Every structure is written in C-alpha cells, then in structure tokens.
Amino acid sequence: MSKRGTSANNDNRSLATRLLLMAVGMFGFGFLLVPLYDVFCDLTGFGGRTNETAVVMEENRDASREIQLEFVTTVNEFAPFAFEPMVESMTVQAGGLYEAVFTARNLTGRSKIAQAVPSVAPSIAGSFFKKLDCFCFTNQEFAANEERELLVRFIVDSELPDYVDTLTLSYTFFDTARLTDNRQQAATSTHSNQ
C-alpha cells in the first residue's frame, strides 16, 4: 500500500473519530439541557414557575399597590376532568394574603388521581407569587364522579417590579392515574381468575 493510501486511511479514521466524539458530545449536551433549564428557571423564576412547596411568609400589605390577578385553567387532553376557577379574576394588594378556589370534577365512573401544574405570567412574576398552601403541591385523589373545591392561599410579594400590574395564574390539570388504573385492572383480573 502506498503512503498516499495509508495517509488517506488515517485521515478517514481521524475524521470518523472526531465526528463520533462530536455526536457523543451533542447527545450529552442535549441530555443535560433539561436539568440545566430547571436549575436556571428555579434561580431566575423564568418560565413562570412558582414555588413547589409551601412557603412561610408574613402578610405585609401595601394598600397603595393593587394588582389584577387573572385565573386560567386547562385540562390536559387525556385527563377526564372538568376544572375551572370559581372567579375569573380578582384585585389584590401587594403583600396581602388571599385565597382562590377552583372546582374540579372527575368525569369518569372510576377513581382517578390528578395533578395540577401551575405557572404565572409574565414569567418575571413567577418568583414573586408565593403560595402558602396549594392543591398543586400534592396529587389529588378523586372518587368516581366526585366534584370538589380546591384551594390556593397566596401572597403576591410587594417586591414585585412596579411595572407589573397584571398577573395570570394558570393551572393545567393532568391525569396521573394511568398506572393505578392498569394495576387495578390487573388485580381485578387476577382475583376473577382465582
């Protein structure tokens, strides 16, 4: 084999190695994007994320500052629930303690488990919307055809930037009971076969 052929083979191997390393690096970067994005959102409040656990916060009402709060609900396309706010909007004072009530109803004839995922718009306001208690902190178990009221207690932090005068609190309701349903069906068929 000539030097030219050996050199071409070495160049091809080197190129293939570099391409393989680049592909592995891009896969690794793509894999790390989700946790990095989560950390970024937690630190900055970007994406309208709110606190995921209850905060302890004293009421420090600023009567001179009113904020319009709108409520929006969505049900995931696979979730057999009706879900809506009791009121579509309310005016709150910065630093004041408030409650909002939502209603949810299981539209099926069997028990279901649901989870609500919140977000706040504009996204800059997510870290200033403090939930002291929220139905979104835990899964909600519903009996067949059950309807119930769900409560969120919150304070809009008085440190919210002055240019923000309207917030939208959105919840998306998801059905998290698919595995439970599959387990119940498996248990029922096991018992009926015995």
Question: Tell me, what CATH number does 85's domain have?
Answer: 2.60.370.10
Residue 164 belongs to a domain: yes
Count other Cβ atoms within 10 Å, centred on residue 71. 20
Q: Tell me which residue of 52, 44, 57 sits closest to 154, measured CA to CA.
A: 57
Residue 190 belongs to a domain: no
Statement to judge: residues 36 and 72 lie in one domain: no
- The answer on pLDDT for 52 being more than 70 is no
Distances in whole angstroms, Cα of residue 36 to Cα of each of 28, 42, 86: 12, 10, 36
Q: Kindly indicate the confidence band of residue 107, based on its pLDDT and cuts at 50, 70 and 90.
A: very high
Statement to judge: residues 10 and 69 lie in one domain: no
Q: Kindly indicate the confidence band of residue 165, based on its pLDDT and cuts at 50, 70 and 90.
A: very high
The number of residues in the chain equals 194
Statement to judge: residues 105 and 142 lie in one domain: yes
Statement to judge: residues 31 and 121 lie in one domain: no
Residue 167 belongs to a domain: yes
Across the range 142-153, mean pLDDT stands at: 94
Cα(23)–Cα(44) distance, rounded to whole angstroms? 31
- Write down the mean pLDDT value for the chain: 80
Please report the pLDDT score of residue 163 as a whole number.
94
Statement to judge: residues 63 and 106 lie in one domain: yes
Statement to judge: residues 22 and 67 lie in one domain: no
Q: Kindly indicate the confidence band of residue 84, based on its pLDDT and cuts at 50, 70 and 90.
A: very high
Stretch among 48-57, 100-109, 166-175 having the lowest mean pLDDT = 48-57
Across the range 143-167, mean pLDDT stands at: 93
Backbone φ and ψ for 138, nearest 5 degrees, come out as -135, 160
Omega into 122 within 30° of 0, i.e. cis? yes
Q: Kindly indicate the confidence band of residue 4, based on its pLDDT and cuts at 50, 70 and 90.
A: low
Residue 188 belongs to a domain: no
Statement to judge: residues 166 and 100 lie in one domain: yes
Residue 191 belongs to a domain: no
Statement to judge: residues 170 and 77 lie in one domain: yes
Across the range 94-115, mean pLDDT stands at: 93
Residue 185 belongs to a domain: no
Statement to judge: residues 90 and 141 lie in one domain: yes
Cα(84)–Cα(148) distance, rounded to whole angstroms? 11
Residue 183 belongs to a domain: no
Residue 135 belongs to a domain: yes
Number of structural domains found in the chain: 2
Please report the pLDDT score of residue 79 as a whole number.
86
DSSP-derived secondary structure for the chain:
--HHHHHHHHHHHHHHHHHHHHHHHHHHHHHHHHHHHHHHHHHH-GGG---SS---------TT-EEEEEEEEEE-TT--EEEEESSSEEEEETT-EEEEEEEEEE-SSS-EEEEEEEEEESGGGGGGEEEEEEGGGS-EEE-TT-EEEEEEEEEE-TTS-TT--EEEEEEEEEE--HHHHHHHHHHHHHHHH-
- The answer on pLDDT for 74 being more than 50 is yes
Statement to judge: residues 30 and 73 lie in one domain: no
Domain limits for position 1 = 1-44
Statement to judge: residues 62 and 79 lie in one domain: yes
Q: Kindly indicate the confidence band of residue 98, based on its pLDDT and cuts at 50, 70 and 90.
A: very high
Statement to judge: residues 65 and 5 lie in one domain: no
Please report the pLDDT score of residue 182 as a whole number.
47
